[in-house]
Amino acid sequence: MSYQILTPQTLPEYLLSIPAIRDFFGDDAIEAEEIGDGNLNYVFVVRSAEHPQKSLIVKQAVPYLRCAGEGYALSRERMTFEIRALQGYTCHAPKVYHADEAMSLVAMEHLKDHAILRKGLMEGVRYPLFADQIGDFLAETLFKTSSLYLPSDEKRRLIDRFNANTELCRLTEDFVFTFPYMENETNQIEPQCRAEAEALFKDVEFKRKILGLKYLFMNRTDALLHGDLHTGSIMVNEHETFVIDPEFAFVGPFGFDIGALFANLGSAYISHFYRSGDEAYRAWLLETIRQVWERFEAKFLELWRQTPSSALLTPGYLDAEALEPFRRDFMVEILRQSAGFAGCKMARRVFGIAGVEEIRGLEDPAERKEAMMRALATGRALVMAHDSIDSIDRIVEIVEKA
């Protein structure tokens, strides 16, 4: 079928032409409702008319930036990379029932018993299994798409499959590493923060550090990344964690997704000085940062020790004991990347186009400004210190104290 933009009226006919979807719904009639509130794509919930609890989520990309309208062209190829990422994930991702790259469309499991992690954290909900489950997702995905696991030819094919995602990578280069630290029309600077913004734009030492991290983002091809792993791209309940929306997926530096997650947990931590004043919940958020890293590191090393041959390592080159110092240094480098990228992600949310709801949504102007300045100070501290960090304790300390 050639590409066409589907609507709640035309989507059911398209879906019922697909055997896997007919098998899911049986003989039921189906109806579609558009529920998307994001910046990029249309999102539909498709339900059985007879049994409404039987439902799927369908996403379709359109050839423009949805939040800006048809005048802001954006290739719908982004859905190709989301489809490929979802199909490649081995854990903690929704089941894909149908994918059509030509239609820029994917139909997948409806996680109706789960909440967006950002919303839950704003409400002070604890998720006891989240740190371990997201740590496993990060380890499985990053290790098994790296040269520590794959043969060289497979790794190069992986890069070829994902690194044409140039438009969304460019958005990251602009809106994470560039525009928020200079005068730019896309920034959103409150009048009460103008002096602080101008000081940031003149902070040459900080901006030089950002350039180094931007270069790393643009040129490293360590592993397959989600590319936008914030707390709005994770769905959770007390028992399960699912990663969604990997339209920014590309092959990049190990620490980028980890850093993005640290940054969002850090923003949630800061917000609860004002949202709840709950010291115990803030402590839980800090401990979650620590637990995510510890689970990721343990799982990543376990997988590595179980892999005797890869593009990097030829059997017989080094014995297991001799490899351990190399592995330890390798994990420290990933941690340092993660700290630096976390700093970029926190700092860019303060004056850049895409703030985080938990901070920008604070109603009191004085509290909102204070929270923004805490986030900026934390982000700056992480960026400035990232290349000397040697433990997760140091990252937690910076988030706690900055």
| 224: pLDDT strictly greater than 90 | yes
| 355: pLDDT strictly greater than 80 | yes
Say if residue 199 is in the same domain as residue 254.
yes
Kindly list the distances between the CA atom of residue 71 and the CA atoms of 64, 65, 67, 174, in Å, as whole numbers in the listed order: 7, 8, 11, 19
Place of tokens 């992480």: 382
| pTM score above 0.75 | yes
CATH code assigned at 68: 3.30.200.20
Residue 221 domain-assigned?
A: yes
Report the alpha-carbon distance of residue 42 to residue 323 in Å, rounded: 48
Q: Mean of the pLDDT values across residues 76-98?
A: 96
- Alpha helix segments (H runs only) across 145-186: 152-162, 166-175
* Least confident stretch, 132-141, 163-172, 229-238, 254-263: 163-172
Spell out where 62-199 has E strands: 96-100, 105-109, 115-116
Give the model confidence (pLDDT) of 252-306 as tens digits: 999 999 999 999 999 999 999 999 999 999 999 999 999 999 999 999 999 999 9
How does residue 132 score in pLDDT terms, banded at 50, 70 and 90? Answer: very high
| 147: pLDDT strictly greater than 80 | yes
Tell the burial category of 364 from Cβ atoms under 10 Å away from its Cβ (0-12, 13-18, 19+).
exposed
Spell out where 174-273 has E strands: 223-225, 234-236, 241-243, 250-252
pLDDT attached to residue 38 = 61
Residue-number span of the structural domain to which 82 is assigned: 11-109
pLDDT attached to residue 71 = 73
Residue 305 domain-assigned?
A: yes
pLDDT attached to residue 68 = 64
pLDDT attached to residue 73 = 81
CB under 8 Å to 304, separation ≥6 — which residues?
143, 148, 327
Say if residue 101 is in the same domain as residue 125.
no
Report the alpha-carbon distance of residue 286 to residue 267 in Å, rounded: 11
Q: Which two tokens stand for residue 355?
A: 């703030």
How many structural domains is the chain composed of? 2
pLDDT attached to residue 53 = 94
How does residue 75 score in pLDDT terms, banded at 50, 70 and 90? Answer: confident
Say if residue 274 is in the same domain as residue 358.
yes
Q: What is the DSSP letter of 311?
A: S
Q: Which two tokens stand for residue 191?
A: 């009048």
pLDDT attached to residue 65 = 72
How does residue 41 score in pLDDT terms, banded at 50, 70 and 90? Answer: confident
Query: What are the backbone dihedrals phi and psi of residue 278, each rounded to the nearest 5 degrees, phi first?
Result: -85, 100
- Alpha helix segments (H runs only) across 249-319: 255-271, 279-305
How does residue 69 score in pLDDT terms, banded at 50, 70 and 90? Answer: low
Q: What is Dmax (Cα atoms) for the chain? A: 64
Give the model confidence (pLDDT) of 182-211 as tens digits: 999 999 999 999 999 999 999 999 999 999
Place of tokens 């040129």: 219
End position of a domain, from candidates 84, 109, 134: 109
Say if residue 100 is in the same domain as residue 155.
no
